[in-house]
Every structure is written in structure tokens, then in C-alpha cells.
Amino acid sequence: MRALLKRVTRAPGGRRGKWLVLAAWLIVAVALGPLAGKLGDVEDTSANAFLPRGAESARVNTELEKFRTDTVMPAVVVYTGEAAEAKAAADRTAFAQFVPAGEEISRPVPSDDGKALMTVVPLDTEDDITGRIDELREIAGANAPPGVDIEVGGPAGSLTDQVAVFDGLDSTLLVATALVVAVLLLITYRSPILWLLPLLSVGFAAVLTQVTTYLLAKHAGLPVDPQSAGVLMVLVFGVGTDYALLLIARYREELHRRTDRHEAMRIALGRSGPAILASAGTIAVGLACLAFADINSSRSLGLVGAIGVVCGLLAMVTVLPALLVITGRWVFWPFVPRHGTPARKARTVWSRIGTAVARRPRWSWMMSVAATGILALSATGISMGLSQAEMFQDKPESVVAQERISAHYPSGASDPAKIVTSTSQAAEVRAAAATVDGVARVEKAADRTPDGELTTLSVVLADAPDSQAAKDTIDELRDAVHEVSGSGALVGGTTAQTLDTQRAADRDLTTVIPIVLLVVLGVLIWLLRALVAPLLLLATVVLSYFAALGASNLLFEHVLGFAGVDWSIPLMGFVFLVALGIDYNIFLMHRVKEEAARLGHSRGVLEGLTSTGGVITSAGIVLAATFAVFAGLPLVTMAQMGVLVGIGVLLDTFLVRTVLVPALALDLGRWFWWPGRLFHRLADRGGDAEGSPASPSAGDRAHEPA
């Protein structure tokens, strides 16, 4: 690996190589840039994109494609108020222009209590569904009599409202994230020019990421959905900026020690490269572990995120060093690093923190564990699951329409369950379904495939489609129709999809989490060449995750007013926080290992903490702020993920990496590095575990911090 790093660092840090690297990236950006804008063309917005692989509800969606009616999606218009009949009749005539040939609009169906009317408008999915719903809503809202409320919902209305959430999401997140990163970089560097270089490098990484994702999705079957595409840019900006901060900090140090900026960059890349590579590898492989998940959207997010991290790594170790060397020392103005001057002040806030921790290391790590443990206890009271109405921070019209239907009709009337069965056994399946408790009725109308082999039945549930009672009914309904011999009956629909997703999320937790932990542990063992340190570091990140989950739950419940936590959040939050949280431990402990070999264990821990404190804190704030952008999105799931990851990163930055990990390392002494080479080297020196380092060699003095 060292030989590979040397070859990689020669190019961007070389006198000619820097220009070749920059030219190569400019050619890539110009040549492939147009493909970056096509990522939306390969996004899968179908229902199966968010469902578990092989789930019964997903199989129903696949079977429904064989039916003549597979191109029809109903919109449901609900009228409430005493003078609604005339308006409903007039609207029915106006809606006729949107109905495909061979279909007709239902007559307004009165509710049993006489307080509502419901009209079902079939729409052709080959048309622009969202545009048709907008037109229906415009017609329904025009000239509404006083006291009459009209909402357009149903499957078509719900789809339109969900698309509205993701419409322009990529560009909105990109602009918001870029602004947040730019402001934080400007504050961090206090330079009018330097902040532009990381942002420009991340821009190159973003183009490469979008192009790579598009090509893999188009030609290699990479799953991409709107959610993963939106998260992708935030991840690239956050992780890329982290690596930029780490590299620039090390480069600045070397500029204080060397006159030649090319040599300074080669050394900075060579010494920070292993930590950056290990960090990117951990995050990328950790996210790629989501490929073992059943839920398609989780798999998409993991695989797409891994691509983003790899592309971010490539940009940060090539084009950023080239830009820094090309611009020279003046880019740091007004705080230009001069050769022979100290790299930092003799006493900093991080050296003071390190001294305080070193006085009572055992007390420090025990108090840190206690604090995170208290927060983690709040995770025990989490209410899991969100209904369709609770998925949005602001109620869309389709949710209000469903509430009106639930108040005046059988709750499942607007979104019935679907049964696909063989036509020869359809009558028996219908009879079996009608006997299930919780089934309001089985619709008389049925559709067949053109070859007559399959029939679909609509089953109206008595309870709201997203209620637990409706999910229980789906289980009973499946049991009943599966018993009809030779029918091959499958039960799908919105309620079945929710139930299948909930159960798959539980399975994914027990499958993916152990894989992620083993992968991260392997990377840490490879990097640190020890066993005790990796196990402790992994334990601190897991503890931090539960603390972040507990703290987030308190915010969700008492501040943000969310009704619960989406089923996908525990797994997605775990993967992101373990991968990203271990990031800062890697940055810290890689430097500590380097300094411990030179100064002894105790002094090495304090020197590592002092030298990386500022850059890791800046990186943590930037990463937390980028994910906090999600908190303002209308979709509760993405807002919850942003809050959870942001809190977790801040806990890792200010508590785990600053106090807990250094305190554990100081308390254990050289045993922290058991059974690696450093453990034996410190023993040979004698007294290093207690902080009495042997005198550094002449070669070591050359690299000693000023």
C-alpha cells in the first residue's frame, strides 16, 4: 500500500504532474458533464423500488402489469358538506375528458351517514399523472359552494404528493449543502480564497459521482431511486469536505517545516493518505453492506452512497492537492504558513483538554460512558412506524382526502387490497376473502388478463389502510386465500406493502448490522495493527449510535412533534453513524499511532489529540451541518435521518473522539496496542506506557512538530 500511495502522491504533488492532474479532471468534467444531468432519467419511482425483494406485495405489482387495467390508476375525489351533490355532478362531467377509452367515472357514491360523496376517476398511467391530478384539483376547487370541502386523493393523488416531495430535491439539496459547506469553510479558514479549493474539488467529485451512478444504473442494473439520489450529493459534499480539511491541515503543517511546497504536499499526502484511504474504505464498504438488505430502497442508498464516497476520495487525493500546489502558499492569506515558524501555538484548547483528560483518564471515560448511556436509555421508548398521514411534515391533500374517507366510509374504500389469483379458482378465493374479519366487502367487478389465466379482485378493508388493524386483516386474508388449492393467490396493495416493508426492516437489522460491524472491525485491525484498540473504538461508536438514537427520539417526540420513527431509520442510521463515526476515530488514532511510535504512548495520545483536534472538530461540524439540511425537508423519514446522523456525528466529534477514546487509551497504556508491533516496541523502550518516551532519533526529530 505504501508503494501505491507513493506513486499516487507523486502526480498531484509534482511540478509537472499537478498540471496533468488538473487537465485530466477538466477533460473528464467537460466530456462527461452532460451525462451528470441525466441521473433523473434512470431513477426508479415505481412502488417496487421501495419494497422488499420477493415480497408478496411486490409480486402482486409485477403480476398486475399483465392486466389490461395495469395502465389505470384511480384518483378519488371526496366532497363533504350539505350542498355537495350539484358540485359533484358538475365535476363528474368536467372530469370525463381525462378518462381513458373503455373506462368511466363512477357516479358520486354517498356515505352511509349522508355527509359525504366520493367519485372515483380512472386515470391513464401512460399520461402525466401528476399533471392530471393538478388539473383535477383545479377543476374541483373552482366555484366550490360555500361550506363544501373538496379533496382529491386516492392512489393517484398520493403518488402526486410523493412526487412533489422529491421534485427538485436534488437541486434543492445541492444548493443548500453547497451554501452550508461554503459558509463553514469560510469560517474555518478565514481566508477569502482557500475555501474555494475544497468546494471546487467537491464539485468535480459530484460530477464524477453522478456520471458513474448514471452509467452503472443504465448499463449494470444499479438500483437508483429519488431518495438515494438526493442523499448522494449530501454524502459527497460532507465526506469530501472532511477529507479536504484533513489533507489541508497536514499540508499546512508541512509548509511550516519545508521550503518546497511540492515536497510538503508529497509528505502530507503520504502521511494522511492511509487515514483517508481507511476512512473512505470503511464508509464505502459499510454502506455497500446494505446490499444484503431486503428492502430495495436501502440497497439503493447503500450502493449509490458507496460510489459517492469512492468518487469523493479520488477527487480529494488528486485534484485538491494539485490545486493547492498550483496556487502556492499565498492561498492561505492572511494566515500564510511560513517555513521555520511554529505550526500552532504552544498551548491550545485541545492541549488543555488533553491535559485535563490525562489527569484522571479513568474518571473521564467513565463519565463519558455514563453520559452517553443516559441518552441511550431514551431509545428504549421509541414508537416505531409512521402512518401515511404521518409521513409528511405538512399534510398533503391526499392525506386529508383519506381522513375524510375514513370518517364517512369504510376506511379502506379509497385504497382496497388487491388479490391476484388464477381465474379458475377466482370464485373460491372471493368466497374465502369475504369470510375474513376486517373485510368490509369484496368488490363484484373483477379484471382478467388478456389470456384469461389470471383475475384480480379488489377487497375493501374495514379499517384505515395504514392502521395496525388493517395489517392484521392482511395477514388473515393471506392465510385464507393461500388455503384455496391451486389458486396461487397473492395479496397486495398499500396495506400489504407497508406490512411487508415493516417485517423486512426487522430482518435487515439482524442481517446487515453484524456484517457492518465485522467489516469495520477488519478495517480498524488492518489500519492499527492491533486488536484491543479496534474493539474499543468500535464499542464507542456503537454506544454513540444508541446515544444519538435516544437523543433524536427526545427531539422527535418533544420538539419536532413526530408521531414515531420510521421503520427504516434504525438500520440506515446505524450504517451511516458507524461508518461516519468511526471516521474521526480513524483520523485520531492514525495520528496517535504515528506519534506514539515517536514520543511514547502517553505523549503520543496527547500529541495526536492536540494536532487533530481542530481539523476533526471542523470536519464534524461540516458533516453534521450537511446532514442537518435534511431536517427541513417535507418528508419525515429524510428529516429523521438527517437529525439522527447530525446528532451522532456531533457526539462522536465532541465527546467520543475528544474525551472517551483518549481517556481509554491513556488508562490502558501500551495495552491499548496489544498484540501489535507497537505494543512490543513500547515495552522494549521501557516506561513509555507511563508517558516517559525514549529520546527520538535524529531522523524522528526531523519530523517532530514545531
Averaged over 235-262, what is the pLDDT? 87
- Model confidence over 625-634: pLDDT tens digits? 888 888 777 7
Q: What is the pLDDT of residue 689?
A: 42
Q: Which span out of 96-100, 361-365, 389-393 was modeled with the highest average pLDDT?
A: 361-365
pLDDT, mean of residues 409-419? 78
Quote the pLDDT of residue 698.
Answer: 35
Helix (H, G, I), strand (E, B) or coil at 555: helix
Omega into 334 within 30° of 0, i.e. cis? yes
pLDDT per residue as tens digits for the range 501-539: 889 988 998 899 999 899 888 888 888 888 999 999 999
Q: For the segment 166-203, what is each residue's pLDDT rounded down to a tens digit?
A: 665 666 777 777 888 888 788 878 888 888 898 899 98
Mean pLDDT of 205-230: 87
pTM: 0.80
Integer Cα distance of 92 and 119 in angstroms: 8
Buried b (16+ CB within 10 A) or exposed e, 429-457: bbebbeebebbbbbeeebbbbeeeebbbb
pLDDT at 575 exceeding the cut of 90? no
- The per-residue pLDDT for 68 is 55
Q: What is the pLDDT averaged over residues 305-311?
A: 92
Q: Is 656 helix (H, G, I), strand (E, B) or coil?
A: helix
Angle at 324 between CA 322 and CA 328, to 5 degrees: 120
At residue 35, does pLDDT exceed 80?
yes
Least confidently predicted of 9-18, 317-326, 490-499, 579-588: 9-18
User: Where do runs of H (alpha helix) occur along 486-558?
Assistant: 494-528, 532-558
The pLDDT, as a whole number, for residue 167 is 66
Q: Can you give the pLDDT at residue 169?
A: 63
Phi and psi torsions of 456, nearest 5°: -115, 135
In percent, the amount of the chain with pLDDT more than 70 equals 92
The residue with greater pLDDT, 171 or 255, is 255
Instruction: Indicate whether 102 pLDDT > 60.
Output: yes
Residues in the chain: 706
Element (H, E) at 197: helix 196-219
- Round to whole Å and give the CA distance between 89 and 381: 50
3-state SS, residue 486: coil
Degrees (nearest 5) of the Cα angle 309, 313, 316? Answer: 135
pLDDT at residue 693 tops 60: no
Confidence class of residue 703 from pLDDT cuts 50, 70 and 90?
very low
| Residue-averaged pLDDT of the chain | 84
Q: What is the pLDDT of residues 318-366, one digit of tens each?
A: 999 999 999 988 888 888 888 777 766 667 788 889 889 999 999 999 9
The whole-number pLDDT of residue 615 equals 83
pLDDT at 482 over 90: yes
- Please report, rounded to a whole number, the percentage of residues in the chain having pLDDT higher than 90: 20
- Please state the φ and ψ torsions of residue 108, each to the nearest 5 degrees: -55, 120
pLDDT at 548 over 90: yes
Which range among 198-207, 360-369, 409-418 shows the weakest confidence by mean pLDDT? 409-418
- Domains recognised in the chain with CATH numbers: 1-36+168-344 (1.20.1640.10), 67-166 (3.30.70.360), 529-691+699-706 (no CATH)
Residue that wins the pLDDT comparison between 404 and 476: 476
Q: Exposure of 81 by Cβ count < 10 A (0-12 exposed, 13-18 middle, 19+ buried)?
A: middle
Confidence tier at 228 by pLDDT (50, 70, 90): confident
CA distance 608 to 509: 35
Whole-number pLDDT of residue 4: 56
pLDDT of residue 79: 92
pLDDT (0 to 100) of residue 491: 93
Residue 78 pLDDT: 93
Query: Would you state the pLDDT for residue 705?
Result: 36
Reduce the DSSP state of residue 120 to 3 states and report it: strand
Enumerate residues 6+ apart whose C-beta is below 8 A from 624.
645, 646, 647, 649, 650, 653
Q: How many of the other CB atoms lie within 10 Å of CB of 533?
A: 28
pLDDT digits (tens, 9 = 90+) for 236-248: 888 888 888 888 8
Query: How much is the pLDDT for 696?
Result: 39
Q: pLDDT at position 402, please?
A: 82
Determine the pLDDT at residue 8: 60
Query: If 0-12 CB within 10 Å is exposed, 13-18 middle and 19+ buried, where does residue 86 land?
Result: exposed
The C-alpha cell at 178 is 453547497
Q: What is the mean pLDDT of residues 65-69?
A: 66
